[in-house]
Amino acid sequence: AKRVGILTAGGDAPGLNAAIRGFGRAAIGEFGMELIGFRDGMRGLAENRFVTLDSSSLSGILTVGGTVLGTSRDKVHRMMVDGVEKDMTEKMAKVYEKNKLDALVTLGGGGTAKNALRLQKAGLNVVHLPKTIDNDIWGTDDSFGFATALEIATEAVDRLHSTAHSHHRIILVEIMGHRAGWLALGAGIAGGADIILIPEIPYTIEKVVEKIEQRKKQGKHFSVIAVAEGAMDIEYAQRVKIADQLIKDADSPETKALAKHNKDRLTDSHRESTFELARKLEAATGLESRVTILGYVQRGGTPVGADRLLATRLGTAGAAAVADGAGGIMIATKGGETTTVSLEKTAGRIKYVPKDHDWVKAAREVETGLGD
Ligand code: F6P
């Protein structure tokens, strides 16, 4: 019988357990495989910490949030071990061999796809399942977690309207999505936000103020603004562009590392800006402004039906792929069907919201301000 290891890595997302169950049921029941689950993402693989999964351990987890295996954001080639950063690739390859594994299944987002590719290149056979509430994984239409987060964020935008209109306030609601704006855009449209700010469409404060003033003239003395974590004003967007160019132009690994470090610092120093933006809007419009950060509420709790369904489809398709001996791939969806994409292609790429995307057009059609 084939022996397979499975792990969940990166931020937790609703549907991870449904995917573990989907994969496990098919792997064990349909294909007669043996399955072990590594604890805490890549860290458990490095430390050879695992549990044996059987049909009873897969029972009762379909509806449970988070991941029963635990997770971490550890990077394969840069893992902190006793206070020192170490490349654990070889160690992981040894653990894989020691356990006589035929395949490793990784459930995670873009960062995990990069780790998965690294392990594939080190000789492991890796199949990746796309998970993220950000919906930013290149090469797949869907990723589990997003549908649930969309419901939660939409409800938040709905509910924030009460305080906004009762108190005649501006409420900025910060929604997850540090690189791509899918969640803020989707929840903003579905929740009827008046303005939506996403990283892909840099904003100017003038345009945001203009929209709020225009609403005031219509007798609406409040506005709800959906702000993606990674939303950028136009000047900051220029700086990011330059930082990206410097990374591209770097002619040695050292200058590249430095350029990347500088970009990270640029990004980190920008994180608090929803508060800054609120302060500026209050000064410019005379309307009291408040910020609500949704945070981890968006990732928590039971997955909605759409995520359970997707996770089960991707999980079972993953088991079939492993049974076929496939490796170096991500299971994906395209046009409503499950398909596969090579890890080589997806790793390191981000699925941004195209500026002419349907959702963007729809938002504009319903007179939502996009800050540009
Ligand atoms: O990857 C999903 C995500 O929700 C991002 O949008 C967000 O920036 C990140 O997780 C934060 O998660 P953590 O605090 O766990 O690193």
Q: What is the mean pLDDT of residues 278-296?
A: 98
Q: What is the mean pLDDT of residues 286-313?
A: 98
Q: What is the distance between the alpha carbons of residues 119 and 297, in angstroms, rounded to a whole number?
A: 32
Q: Is 307 considered catalytic here?
A: no
Q: Give the position, in ligand 1's atom list, of the atom nearest the Cα of 179.
A: 6
Quote the mean pLDDT of the chain.
Answer: 96
- The three-class DSSP label of residue 82 is coil
Distances (CA, A) of 249 to 74, 246, 257, 260, 303: 28, 5, 12, 11, 43
Q: What is the distance between the alpha carbons of residues 134 and 277, in angstroms, rounded to a whole number?
A: 22
- In DSSP notation, 160-207 reads HHHHHHHHT-EEEEEES-SS--HHHHHHHHHHT-SEEE-TTS-B-HHH
Q: Give the position, in ligand 1's atom list, of the atom nearest the Cα of 11.
A: 15
Residue 233 is given by DSSP the state: B
pLDDT at 227 over 90: yes
pLDDT at 271 over 80: no
Going by their DSSP bridges, the two strands 170-175 and 289-293 should be labelled as parallel
Out of 12, 73, 134, give the residue to mutate to test ligand 1, the one with the largest number of ligand atoms within 8 Å of its CB.
134
Among 40, 102, 134, 307, which one carries the catalytic annotation?
134
Q: Taking a C-beta distance cutoff of 8 angstroms, is the pair 39, 83 a contact? A: no
Q: Taking a C-beta distance cutoff of 8 angstroms, is the pair 193, 225 a contact? A: yes
pLDDT at 92 over 70: yes
Angle between helical axes of 305-323 and 146-167 (0-180°, round to 10): 160
Tens-digit pLDDT profile for residues 300-315 = 999 999 999 999 999 9
Q: What is the distance between the alpha carbons of residues 156 and 187, in angstroms, rounded to a whole number?
A: 9
Q: How far apart are the first and last CA of the chain?
A: 58
236 annotated as ligand-binding: no
Task: Count CB atoms within 10 A of the CB of residue 226.
Answer: 35
What ipTM was assigned to the predicted interfaces of this complex? Answer: 0.95
Cα of 152 from ligand 1 centre, angstroms: 15
Q: What is the pTM of this model?
A: 0.95
Residue 134 is given by DSSP the state: T
Hey, whose CA ends up nearest to atom 1 of ligand 1? 11
pLDDT-derived band at 263, boundaries 50, 70, 90: confident
Hey, whose CA ends up nearest to atom 6 of ligand 1? 177
The sign of the torsion formed by the CA atoms of 355, 356, 357, 358 equals: positive
Percent pLDDT > 90 in the chain is: 95
Choose among 168, 117, 11: nearest CA to 347. 117
Q: What is the distance between the alpha carbons of residues 226 and 210, in angstroms, rounded to a whole number?
A: 16
